[in-house]
Chain A
Amino acid sequence: DGGITQSPKYLFRKEGQNVTLSCEQNLNHDAMYWYRQDPGQGLRLIYYSQIVNDFQKGDIAEGYSVSREKKESFPLTVTSAQKNPTAFYLCASSLRPSGSSYTQYFGPGTRLTVL
């Protein structure tokens, strides 16, 4: 089955630690995205990538980093510089970054809790 997988489903981190959230897709989509979701605030864009080896900051990139070395993978690292990292993180992908093939499909999410 084609789709987007995120791992782990739950992640616990101690303050001061970096953690990496995995996102993999087998849909052959060019573009991938990371969002953060907090209660009552909808979804906010962290980073996005239109193509391999290229990515841009979204609206709340501070304290986060990404890489796009393979088309199917777009891992997100939450660094110790992120002041309030406890949230639900969602990965998404779209066939193309714009135009009529621009529809984003979402993974199941990772819930990160800082202890």
Chain B
Amino acid sequence: AQSVTQPDIHITVSEGASLELRCNYSYGATPYLFWYVQSPGQGLQLLLKYFSGDTLVQGIKGFEAEFKRSQSSFNLRKPSVHWSDAAEYFCAATSYGFQGAQKLVFGQGTRLTINP
């Protein structure tokens, strides 16, 4: 079955430190891949997406992600985190549903805490 795994439920980093959030997917072919961020009680905001082409993708708020086919991974990175980055982060990948419609499969999420 198609799945997305975020191995880290909770990560704590110090403000100004670098960040890497892990995401692994299990699919037969290369899916479309996404990272979303969610602040408490809010909807999801798209950070970045990968469809094809350059495997290093730049997103909003200084985030980037790298697609590695050999490792089935799409890890999210930021060189220096800010206190405002504290939130829940979701990795998602497409699967195919009725009449070719694409659906998103989400990972469990990683909660990011920032130490001052």
A111 CB, nearest partner CB in chain B, Å: 7
CB closest residue in chain B, given A50: B101
Q: Answer whether residue B71 sits at the interface, using C-beta atoms and an 8 A cutoff.
A: no
Residues of B within 8 A of A92 (CB): 44
Q: A31-B101, A43-B106 are in contact. Are A102 and B44 (CB under 8 A)?
A: no
Q: A50-B101, A98-B101 are in contact. Are A106 and B43 (CB under 8 A)?
A: yes
A90 and B36 alpha carbons, distance in the complex (Å): 13
Selected from A40, A42, A48, the residue in CB contact (under 8 A) with B90 is A42
A6 and B42 alpha carbons, distance in the complex (Å): 11
Question: Total contacts A to B, CB within 8 angstroms?
Answer: 65
Most chain A CB inside 10 Å of its own CB: which residue of B36, B42, B104, B106: B104
**What number of B residues sit within 8 Å (CB to CB) of A?**
27
Does A56 contact B51, Cβ atoms closer than 8 Å? Answer: no
B38 CB, nearest partner CB in chain A, Å: 9
Residues of A within 8 A of B42 (CB): 108-109
A107 CB, nearest partner CB in chain B, Å: 5
A44 and B108 alpha carbons, distance in the complex (Å): 10
Q: Answer whether residue A103 sits at the interface, using C-beta atoms and an 8 A cutoff.
A: yes
Q: A103-B34, A103-B49 are in contact. Are A45 and B104 (CB under 8 A)?
A: yes
- Interface segment, one of B62-70, B78-86, B92-100: B92-100
Q: Answer whether residue B116 sits at the interface, using C-beta atoms and an 8 A cutoff.
A: no
Does A43 contact B101, Cβ atoms closer than 8 Å? Answer: no
Interface size class on chain A is 20 to 34
- Residue pairs across A and B with Cβ atoms less than 8 A apart, 25 shown, are A6-B43, A33-B103, A40-B108, A42-B90, A42-B109, A43-B44, A43-B106, A48-B97, A50-B98, A50-B99, A50-B101, A56-B98, A58-B103, A88-B41, A90-B44, A97-B101, A97-B102, A98-B100, A99-B102, A106-B43, A106-B45, A107-B43, A108-B42, A109-B41, A111-B41
Q: A33-B103, A102-B94 are in contact. List 16 more A-B contacts (CB 8 A).
A: A33-B104, A41-B108, A42-B90, A43-B106, A44-B106, A56-B101, A90-B43, A97-B101, A100-B51, A102-B32, A103-B34, A106-B44, A106-B45, A107-B43, A108-B42, A111-B41
